[in-house]
């Protein structure tokens, strides 16, 4: 480490008795997002260029066509990303939750809209201000490059899902992917909170509302999933669900 960086670290520790800044304390994305590239004593620098916001349910925080001055790190809640089509329809391109970035790959203007499905807490970063932090902590820039690469992989997987898979295969793939984000329950089953509506899920999967419901009912009849209240789904047989997702059913 350079003397300059070590000096910055000492300054951050002297500024507060607490190692972790108040902005970061209790954040659900502390160890799964951008911040995970930093040690606790260095979070002060990232927090200094972050603006914390709470976005109410149904409110947009990115608008398609707006100048891309910021990107966002989701700390809590779920948002949907969509594009407006020329004929007035909307195409949902993804769902994001704690630890996910929004707007990272944007060029001069945002190519999508982001809307909170439920209450969303996020950190907003100014692109220009964040460059100064990259100079001190190159690990952050490497983390962002990793995220950008992962976004390309997800886009390729989504093209495969829409172009080649059946309705039940699409739903199975989504449930498996969403479960990877969730905590594993002690009993081995995965309880998934699906805050998006069935219509939104169908839009994302290229299916109608009715087709999503039929596919979910088919998985339920085979005791592969259990459907609870408030759109919740519990995976009962991950191996069989994976077989559907990979066309080995």
Q: Taking residues 218-239, what's their average pLDDT?
A: 89
H helix or E strand, kind and range, residue 152: helix 138-164
State what percent of residues in the chain have pLDDT above 90.
Answer: 29
Query: Comparing C-alpha atoms, which of 127, 94, 96 is closest to residue 32?
Result: 96
How far is it, in rounded angstroms, from Cα 216 to Cα 244?
12
Over 50: is that where the pLDDT of 5 sits?
Answer: no
How far is it, in rounded angstroms, from Cα 140 to Cα 193?
30
HEC string of 91-138?
EEEEEECCCCEECCCCCCECCCEEEECCCEEEEEEEHHHHHHHHHHCH
How far is it, in rounded angstroms, from Cα 239 to Cα 202?
24
26-35, 185-194, 211-220: which has the highest mean pLDDT? 211-220
At 90, the pLDDT band (50, 70, 90 cuts) reads confident
pTM of the model: 0.77
**Across 12-21, 35-44, 104-113, 235-244, least confident range:** 12-21
Q: Taking residues 146-174, what's their average pLDDT?
A: 73
At 134, the pLDDT band (50, 70, 90 cuts) reads confident
**Cα 222–190–116 angle (5° rounding)?**
110
Burial letters 25-36, b for 16+ CB under 10 A, else e: eebebbeebbbe
CA distances to 13, 93, 136, 148, 233 from 7, rounded to whole Å, are 10, 44, 11, 31, 50
Domain architecture of the chain: domains with CATH: 3-160 (2.60.120.10), 165-245 (1.10.10.10)
Mean pLDDT for the chain overall:
78
Query: Comparing C-alpha atoms, which of 78, 101, 99, 81 is closest to residue 90?
Result: 81
At 31, the pLDDT band (50, 70, 90 cuts) reads low
Enumerate the β-bridge partners of residue 74: 122
- pLDDT tens per residue, range 59-76: 999 999 999 889 898 988
Q: How far is CA 56 from the centre of its chain?
A: 17
The residue count of the chain comes to 249
Structure tokens at 138: 């190159």
At 86, the pLDDT band (50, 70, 90 cuts) reads confident
For residue 47, the model assigns a pLDDT of 76
Over 70: is that where the pLDDT of 223 sits?
Answer: yes
H helix or E strand, kind and range, residue 204: helix 198-205
Q: Taking residues 165-190, what's their average pLDDT?
A: 73
**Taking the alpha carbons of 61, 78, 178, 93 in that order, is the dihedral positive or negative?**
negative
């Amino acid at each position: 480490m350079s003397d300059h960086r070590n000096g910055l670290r000492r300054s951050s520790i002297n500024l507060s008795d607490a190692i972790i800044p108040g902005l970061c304390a209790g954040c659900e994305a502390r160890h799964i997002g951008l911040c995970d590239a930093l040690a606790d004593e260095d979070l002060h620098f990232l927090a200094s260029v972050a603006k914390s916001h709470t976005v109410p349910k149904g409110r947009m925080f990115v608008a398609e066509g707006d100048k891309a001055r910021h990107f966002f790190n989701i700390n809590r809640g779920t948002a949907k990303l969509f594009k407006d089509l020329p004929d007035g329809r909307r195409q949902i391109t993804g769902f994001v939750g704690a630890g996910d970035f929004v707007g990272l790959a944007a060029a001069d203007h945002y190519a999508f809209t982001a809307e909170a499905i439920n209450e969303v807490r996020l950190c907003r970063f100014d692109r220009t201000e964040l460059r100064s932090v990259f100079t001190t902590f190159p690990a952050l820039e490497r983390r962002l490059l990793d995220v950008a690469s992962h976004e390309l992989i997800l886009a390729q997987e989504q093209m495969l899902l829409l172009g080649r898979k059946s309705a039940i295969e699409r739903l199975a793939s989504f449930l498996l992917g969403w479960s990877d984000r969730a905590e594993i329950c002690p009993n081995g089953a995965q309880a998934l909170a699906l805050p998006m509506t069935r219509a939104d899920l169908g839009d994302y999967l290229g299916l109608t509302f009715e087709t999503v419901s039929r596919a979910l009912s088919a998985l339920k009849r085979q005791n592969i999933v259990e459907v609870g209240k408030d759109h919740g789904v519990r995976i009962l047989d991950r191996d069989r669900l994976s077989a559907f997702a990979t066309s080995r059913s």
